[in-house]
Amino acid sequence: MTPFTQNVVSIITSIPEGRVMTYGQIAAHAGSPRAARQVVRILHSMSRKERLPWHRVVNAKGEIAIPDEHSRLIQETELISEGVEFKLDGTIDLEIFGYQPEPE
């Protein structure tokens, strides 16, 4: 695992229950602000093995970004059970539920 990947994994692992981070925020905190899509790849390939709380990652608009219907339902259900609220338009208020790890 490369240092960037390690950072991403540890950041995702550190997201507390009931809070969410965006792909871009995670990439930025891992040291590469424009590598949001790489965060996606890591989520894809490592969610299981590393037991990542993958459901606590959303896009910059506060939306669930998963294409697969079944998986997005799981994500929504998990978040709601942790106390995250969805607005009527289906987005999460990042001002309230967004998580900012301590900067380096």
Q: Is 51 in the site for DNA (CB under 7 A)?
A: no
Task: Give the C-alpha separation, 47 to 12, whole Å.
Answer: 10
Q: How far is the CB of 30 from DNA (least distance, A)?
A: 8
What are 63's two structure tokens? 């939306």
Q: Is 88 in the site for DNA (CB under 7 A)?
A: no
Task: Give the C-alpha separation, 26 to 20, whole Å.
Answer: 10
Q: Is 93 in the site for DNA (CB under 7 A)?
A: no
Q: How far is the CB of 31 from DNA (least distance, A)?
A: 8
Q: How far is the CB of 9 from DNA (least distance, A)?
A: 9
What are 9's two structure tokens? 């994994």
Task: Give the C-alpha separation, 79 to 97, whole Å.
Answer: 10
- Between 11 and 50, how does the x/- string for binding to DNA read (CB under 7 A)? -----------xxxx------x-xxxxx-xx-xxxxxxx-
Q: How many CB atoms lie within 10 A of CB 67?
A: 7
Q: Which is nearer to DNA, 10 or 41 (CB)?
A: 41
End-to-end CA gap in the chain: 21
Q: Is 86 in the site for DNA (CB under 7 A)?
A: no
- What value, to the nearest 5°, has the Cα angle with vertex 20 and ends 16 and 26? 95
Residues near DNA, by CB under 7 A: 1-2, 4-5, 22-25, 32, 34-38, 40-41, 43-49, 54, 57, 59-61, 65-68, 71, 74
